[in-house]
Structures are given as structure tokens and as C-alpha cells.
């Protein structure tokens, strides 16, 4: 019984670490990209193929991608560390 509880606590801790790293990395990226988003001259094809990107939607899209990327990197790092 105690072993199961300990394993659930570790799993929860790992999940919180992964999400914290992902959201933190996305927030940092978002803070940096907001300062440079008006300098983007090329449209982002996924958002608007025929018009220049709206700075808000471009920032939101790039921040979302950065959050996913940071989360995946955190998952990979924790997985590698767990295998040792």
C-alpha cells in the first residue's frame, strides 16, 4: 500500500516538473519573441497564407510551439535520467 502511494507521488512530481519546465520555457520564449515579433516580414503559412502575420497571433503560435518543445525536451531529459 505504501509502495503504491510512493510511486503515485513520484509520478505526480514528475508530471509537475515536466509541465513547469514546459510552461516556464514557453513563457520565457514568449517574453523574448514579443519584443521582436513586429520585425517578422514573412507570413506564417499556417496562420494566414496570403497576408502578413498579425503580431498577436504570430506570438501566440510561436509561444505555443515553444511550450510544446520545452515540454518534450523536459520529458526526454527526465526519461534519460530515469533510465540511469
| CA separation, residue 5 to residues 2, 18, 59 (Å) | 5, 20, 41
Q: What is the pLDDT of residues 20-77, one digit of tens each?
A: 998 998 888 888 877 776 665 555 555 555 666 667 777 788 888 989 999 999 999 8
Query: In angstroms, rounded to a whole number, what is the distance separating the alpha carbons of residues 43 and 53?
Result: 5
Q: Does the global pTM surpass 0.85? A: no
Query: In sequence order, which residues have a C-beta less than 8 Å from that of residue 66 and are 6 or more positions away?
Result: 25, 26, 29, 30, 33
Residue 40: DSSP 8-state? -
How far apart (Å, rounded) are the C-alpha atoms in residues 32 and 23?
Answer: 14
Predicted pLDDT of residue 51: 63
Amino acid at each position: 500500500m505504501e509502495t503504491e502511494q510512493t510511486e503515485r507521488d513520484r509520478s505526480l512530481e514528475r508530471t509537475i516538473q515536466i509541465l513547469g519546465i514546459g510552461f516556464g520555457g514557453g513563457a520565457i520564449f514568449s517574453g523574448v519573441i514579443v519584443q521582436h515579433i513586429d520585425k517578422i516580414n514573412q507570413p506564417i503559412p499556417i496562420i494566414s497564407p496570403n497576408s502578413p502575420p498579425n503580431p498577436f497571433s504570430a506570438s501566440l503560435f510561436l509561444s505555443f510551439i515553444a511550450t510544446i518543445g520545452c515540454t518534450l525536451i523536459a520529458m526526454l531529459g527526465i526519461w534519460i535520467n530515469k533510465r540511469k
